[in-house]
Amino acid sequence: MAHKRLPRFALEYLEGGAEDEAALLGERRAFADWRFLPRTLVDVSGRTLATSILGQSAAMPLVASPTGLNGILHAHGDCLLAQASQQADIPFVQSTMSNDTMEEVARAAPGVRHWWQLYVFGGDEIWQELLRRAERAGCEALVLTTNAQIFGDREWQRRNQIGNARLSASAALESLTHPLWFAENPLSLGLPKFANIIDFVPKDQRSFFAASNWVRAHQPTSLSWDTVAKIRQRWNKPFILKGILCPDDVRRALDSGADGIVLSSHGGRQLDWTVAPLDLLPVAREIVGEKIALYMSGGVRRGTDLLKACALGADAVWVGRALLYGLCAAGAAGAARALAIIKAEALDAMGLLGANRIEELGPHLLAHAGRVA
């Protein structure tokens, strides 16, 4: 349904990765390489996916991962994803590059576990102001994305844009052939705004693509563990680092004051040819023990993926595209449906695996590349 509804440039934005898309494909392949060793004849009549995320109960070990530009996928996509997350009783992470303001999201989905994802750009006063606003808007946790200070080379983008400010004529014309999408985003009215950060962008750069490119160009490549320490000092609630993909950095994160980390390659959209976050999980779990929360993000499409990640050591998976497909297809109801599908699949698969609770999952239920020890 999403494929039918979206114009080419928006669909490529949703699905694409960087360069050869090797990291993107590798994330799915990593899931395929792990096979289940199911236990049978186990009473699984009392099974539940209920768990705790950052010390609070959640219906399943899943977090709605931050995604920018949701407004081009569906009008008010951020509010709708937050509503679907609230209904499903899981946290929703809002991106710095979202299109609805954080205050609008808080109003649209009262009671949602609302987390704010920070991209550092421009001077320190910008992130400091965003943190103050997130605090006032009731955000429960802060997520610093660490692996996107240099923008991944997404070649499809060059096909769809002219210079850094406009859609190419062919991409604009093609979008006319998607009436449902076009009705929400008439090109004459312009594309949605980056509502949370647009005031920081120079006035002559505030159109959709120009603003997005301006922010990218002003993300300091000096971002470092020193910046992490400065941000940690200013934020008193839970703090999570997203974009860790190396055992040494997992170790380093333990001393950074972070309450959790997300192993992630940004959905294969940044550095290409990275290891799959799933494959790093066992080592990362060994390093963090129970000291901080350990999450993974990348390639989760089905309930069985969620179970594999939890069995390899994740406290929860952070899901991007699988929810976005639902959002594009049918707004909040579509995102809620995507979550319901993953949940139903995971619950049945857990039963077929012979487990009743997420905590019962472990590497003993998996064989790599089908090899049984």
Ligand X SMILES: Cc1cc2nc3c(=O)[nH]c(=O)nc-3n(C[C@H](O)[C@H](O)[C@H](O)COP(=O)(O)O)c2cc1C
Of 3, 266, 364, 368, the catalytic one is 266
97 interacts with ligand X by CB under 6 A: yes
242 interacts with ligand X by CB under 6 A: yes
264 interacts with ligand X by CB under 6 A: yes
Give the residue numbers of the binding site.
13, 66-68, 95, 117, 119, 145, 154, 242, 264, 266, 269, 320-321
CA distance 212 to 151: 11
Taking the complex as a whole, the smallest distance from the CB of residue 79 to ligand X amounts, in Å, to: 16
Residue 256 or 265 with smaller CB distance to ligand X: 265
Find the binder of ligand X among 7, 61, 68, 152 (CB under 6 A).
68
117 interacts with ligand X by CB under 6 A: yes
Give the residue numbers of the binding site for FMN.
66-68, 95, 117, 145, 242, 264, 320-321
Amino acid sitting at position 179: P
Find the binder of ligand X among 51, 86, 94, 95 (CB under 6 A).
95
Residue 67 or 83 with smaller CB distance to ligand X: 67
Stretch that binds ligand X, among 37-45, 133-141, 295-303, 356-364 (CB under 6 A): 295-303
85 interacts with ligand X by CB under 6 A: no
Taking the complex as a whole, the smallest distance from the CB of residue 255 to ligand X amounts, in Å, to: 22
Taking the complex as a whole, the smallest distance from the CB of residue 46 to ligand X amounts, in Å, to: 30
Give the residue numbers of the binding site for glyoxylate.
13, 119, 154, 266, 269
Find the binder of ligand X among 31, 34, 67, 127 (CB under 6 A).
67
30 interacts with ligand X by CB under 6 A: no
26 interacts with ligand X by CB under 6 A: no
Q: How do the residues of the chain divide into helix, strand and coil, expressed in percent and rounded to 5? A: 45, 15, 40
300 interacts with ligand X by CB under 6 A: yes
Residues binding ligand X: number (CB under 6 A): 23
298 interacts with ligand X by CB under 6 A: yes
Find the binder of ligand X among 10, 11, 14, 342 (CB under 6 A).
14
In 226-365, which ranges are E strands?
Answer: 239-244, 260-264, 293-297, 316-319
User: Which DSSP string do the residues of 121-178 spell out, in sequence order?
Assistant: -SSHHHHHHHHHHHHHTT--EEEEE-S-SS----HHHHHHEETTTEE-HHHHHHHTT-
Angle between helices 303-311 and 277-288 (to 10 degrees): 40
| Collapsed DSSP state (helix, strand, coil) of residue 194 | coil
Find the binder of ligand X among 7, 299, 303, 326 (CB under 6 A).
299
Find the binder of ligand X among 47, 154, 266, 343 (CB under 6 A).
266
Residues shown for the chain = 373
Quickly list H helices, 161-276: 169-175, 179-184, 208-217, 225-234, 247-254
Taking the complex as a whole, the smallest distance from the CB of residue 289 to ligand X amounts, in Å, to: 24
The pairing of beta strand 56-58 with beta strand 141-145 = unpaired
Taking the complex as a whole, the smallest distance from the CB of residue 318 to ligand X amounts, in Å, to: 6
Taking the complex as a whole, the smallest distance from the CB of residue 38 to ligand X amounts, in Å, to: 25
178 catalytic residue (yes or no): no
Residue 18 or 355 with smaller CB distance to ligand X: 18
Token pair 């709605």 is found at 64
CA distance 77 to 285: 34
81 membership: H or E segment, kind and range: helix 77-88
Closest CA to 10 of 358, 336, 328, 331: 328
Residue 316 makes CB contacts below 8 A (sequence gap 6+) with 51, 53, 58, 61, 62, 63, 293, 295, 310
Which residue of the chain is nearest ligand X when measured via CB? 320
Q: Which pair of structure tokens corresponds to residue 42? A: 């186990």
Closest CA to 151 of 68, 27, 241, 63: 68
65 interacts with ligand X by CB under 6 A: yes
Binding residues (CB under 6 A) for ligand X: these are 13-14, 65-68, 95, 97, 117, 145, 242, 264, 266-267, 297-300, 318-322
Q: Which residues are catalytic?
A: 266
